[in-house]
Amino acid sequence: MSRGRAVKLGVTLCMMFGLAGCGPDKDKQIADLMAERDGLRKDLADRDRLMADANQREDDAQRTILSLRDQLDAARKELDERGSEAEGWIGMPGFDMISIQGEVLFDSGKATLRSGASGTLDRIASDLLGRFGDRDIYVFGHTDTDPIRKSGWKDNWELGAQRALTITRYLVTKGVNPTKISAVSCGEHRARDTNANAAGKQRNRRVEFYAVVPKAGGAAGAARETSP
């Protein structure tokens, strides 16, 4: 209960007791104060319910993200089996994914889209709006292990997050529903290849797009159900 509402409720109760034995209008005044007290209690109960709902949606979203991260290894294995760079979307149980090399979209250490990145992202947006129009979308930003020195980012987590956000915002401008898309950073911690050489680092610098079949009661479904 907020301090202001607690004080107001206390004042209301004090006034109720203070009115006992006062004047011919005391019954009406007491009734009015009791109605105000009940209204305050209802407001507090509604606020508590909304907070509980918001916390539940946040918990659902975290579980969905953790589940997707657990499935990244399977998706990477599928990529490796199909070749160093599979073409197009890869179908997996419950979702489809596509991986785009970081150099296609961003300059080194940057989170601003390169001039030629729009063509690639426009094709992805077309898929998301078309055959994956009923899916929940997740954009994962990945980096290599090179430490941040000059670019101004705090660490690779932040670089991966800003890249995922940049792409997410771009896709929304192309019509992707903002209530169905999330940006996630894995930083350097979900490497596809070794970071011991340049070729491996290049493969690790990537952005992955997941079009996930919604699950009943999941985070995205709950968000849509509670949206105005």
Task: Give the architecture (CATH level 2) of 60-226.
Answer: 2-Layer Sandwich (3.30)
Give pLDDT, residue 216.
41
Give pLDDT, residue 10.
54
Buried b (16+ CB within 10 A) or exposed e, 195-214: eeeeeebebbbbbbbbbbeb
Cα separation of 142 and 81, whole Å? 20
Cα separation of 12 and 10, whole Å? 5
Give pLDDT, residue 56.
84
Averaged pLDDT, groups of 10, the chain, 228 residues long? 54 53 67 84 86 83 75 64 60 90 90 92 96 95 85 88 96 96 92 86 91 65 37
Which pTM was predicted? 0.60
Give pLDDT, residue 85.
41
Domain boundaries, the chain: 3-50, 60-226
Give pLDDT, residue 217.
38
